């Protein structure tokens, strides 16, 4: 073999406000010659500055930083540097945050009790463009035990979306609903499209079936 | 009786250095560790740099190390101590609330002999020090 793979160094940023957490992670990661820590800091501001100024493949960010939350940093990095894979680190459980973090565009969720080998696996996976889902989170997702999946689909709708959903489900037309709510037909159509998308449905008949099944209409 | 033999005063007390940033915990550790003629707390410090200087001067038999310090970290101190090891190898005991596996693994690889959970294993410190030859 030509040994080319060993030339690929994963450039990594590490942001956590606990010095000892960073020191521990740095010690474990730097034992691997394919991983290099190129930036480090204790705040969201430092993380955002580093992503802007220092080319990196992977950025590990604590969910609870003293200034902004790790989620805020994640959202900004997704927009400004979509090529950087973000791993969110948290002392909170995967049940509470795992799925939401992935949905917000993170490449993976790292609970602080993960084993050193899992940390290294996660960094390599996301650097290669894949998502990292820990075995525990995969199991939770499979059995529907994350907080997000516990909610019924209609609970994700805004108040206005739910109001329009209820009227569509009982067979009212877009123009009838527009009249009742003093909205334009175009606005009601926009709400309709948005709620269908959120609920992964295609037609008004789907909405009616769902409403009956979930006892939302008699 | 083997128990009383073990409790006989050694010719020289075992000298322990404590590295801990909270005064209350420093006091508690001193109370647990000190036994005149047998175990003495030879030095106390609350940050990595001062702890390393103190270690070099004292050359203690054992060091009890908290990981989160006023500045620097206990992990940095462990690495420095093990790099400059002389003919004697001091016992290094980590006592911390940061018990994540990644941090524990880093400390043990860096040369800590024991990794203790501050909220559960506090009294084990004394047991481990009793075993120092």
| Nearest CA-CA distance, residue A62 and chain B, Å | 14
Q: What is the mean pLDDT of chain A?
A: 88
User: Contact A209/A164 with Cβ under 8 angstroms?
Assistant: no
ipTM of the prediction = 0.84
* B100 with A112: Cβ contact below 8 A: yes
Stretch A11-34: mean pLDDT: 96
pLDDT value of residue B51: 98
Q: Which of A16, A23, A19, A13 is nearest to A69 (CA)?
A: A16
Q: Which of A32, A35, A41 is nearest to A127 (CA)?
A: A35
Best A23, A25, A26, A113 member to test B by mutation, with max B CBs in 10 Å, is A23
- Is pTM beyond 0.80 here? no
Which residues of B are less than 8 Å from A25 in CB distance? 102, 106
Residues B62 and B16: their CA atoms lie apart, in Å, by 5
* The pLDDT of residue A110 is above 90: yes
B98 touches chain A (CB under 8 A): yes
* B106 with A113: Cβ contact below 8 A: no
* A23 with B68: Cβ contact below 8 A: no
pLDDT value of residue A69: 84
| Nearest CA-CA distance, residue A91 and chain B, Å | 10
pLDDT classification of A150: cutoffs 50, 70, 90: low
Stretch B2-20: mean pLDDT: 72
Q: What is the pLDDT of residues A46-90, one digit of tens each?
A: 999 999 999 999 999 998 888 888 888 999 999 999 999 999 998
Best A14, A21, A24, A136 member to test B by mutation, with max B CBs in 10 Å, is A24
**CATH code of the domain made up of B12-129:** 3.40.50.2300
Q: What is the mean pLDDT of chain B?
A: 90
* The pLDDT of residue B42 is above 70: yes
Q: What separation in angstroms does the CA of A102 have from each of A45, A97, A110, A151, B31? A: 22, 9, 11, 17, 49
Q: For chains A and B, what is the number of CB pairs under 8 angstroms?
A: 53
* B102 with A19: Cβ contact below 8 A: no
Q: What separation in angstroms does the CA of A155 have from each of A97, A161, A197, A200, B101? A: 18, 10, 14, 13, 37
B105 touches chain A (CB under 8 A): yes
How large is the greatest C-alpha to C-alpha distance in chain A, in angstroms?
A: 72
Task: Show me where the domains of chain B are located.
Answer: 12-129
Q: Which residues contact B38 (CB under 8 A, 6 or more apart)?
A: B7, B9, B10, B13, B14
């Amino acid at each position: 073999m030509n040994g080319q793979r060993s030339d690929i160094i994963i450039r990594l940023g590490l942001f956590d406000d606990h010095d000892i957490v960073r020191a521990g992670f740095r010690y474990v990661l730097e034992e691997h010659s394919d991983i290099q820590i190129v930036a480090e800091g204790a705040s969201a501001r430092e993380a955002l500055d580093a992503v802007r100024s220092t080319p990196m493949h992977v950025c590990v960010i604590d969910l609870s930083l003293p200034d902004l939350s790790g989620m805020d940093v994640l959202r900004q990095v997704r927009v400004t540097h979509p090529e950087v894979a973000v791993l969110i680190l948290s002392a909170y459980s995967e049940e509470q945050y795992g799925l939401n973090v992935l949905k917000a565009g993170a490449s993976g969720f790292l609970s602080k009790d993960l084993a050193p080998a899992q940390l290294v696996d996660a960094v390599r996976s996301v650097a290669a463009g894949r998502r990292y889902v820990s075995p525990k989170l995969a199991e939770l997702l499979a059995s529907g035990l994350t907080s997000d999946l516990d909610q019924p689909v209609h609970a994700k709708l805004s108040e206005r979306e739910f109001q329009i959903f209820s009227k569509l489900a009982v067979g009212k037309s877009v123009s009838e609903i527009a009249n009742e709510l003093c909205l334009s037909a175009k606005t009601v159509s926009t709400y309709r499209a948005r709620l269908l998308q959120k609920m992964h449905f295609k037609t008004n008949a789907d909405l009616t079936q769902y409403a009956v099944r979930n006892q939302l209409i008699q | 009786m083997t128990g009383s033999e073990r409790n006989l005063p050694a010719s020289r007390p075992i000298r322990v250095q404590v590295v801990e940033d909270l005064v209350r915990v420093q006091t508690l550790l001193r109370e647990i560790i000190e036994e005149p003629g047998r175990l003495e707390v030879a030095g106390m410090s609350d940050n990595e740099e001062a702890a390393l200087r103190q270690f070099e001067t004292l050359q203690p038999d054992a060091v009890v190390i908290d990981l989160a310090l006023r500045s620097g970290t206990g992990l940095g101190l462990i690495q420095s101590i093990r790099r400059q090891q002389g003919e004697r190898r001091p016992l290094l005991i980590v006592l911390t609330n940061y018990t994540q596996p990644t941090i524990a693994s880093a400390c043990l690889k860096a040369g800590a002999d024991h990794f203790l959970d501050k909220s559960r294993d506090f009294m084990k410190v004394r047991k481990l020090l009793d075993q120092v030859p």
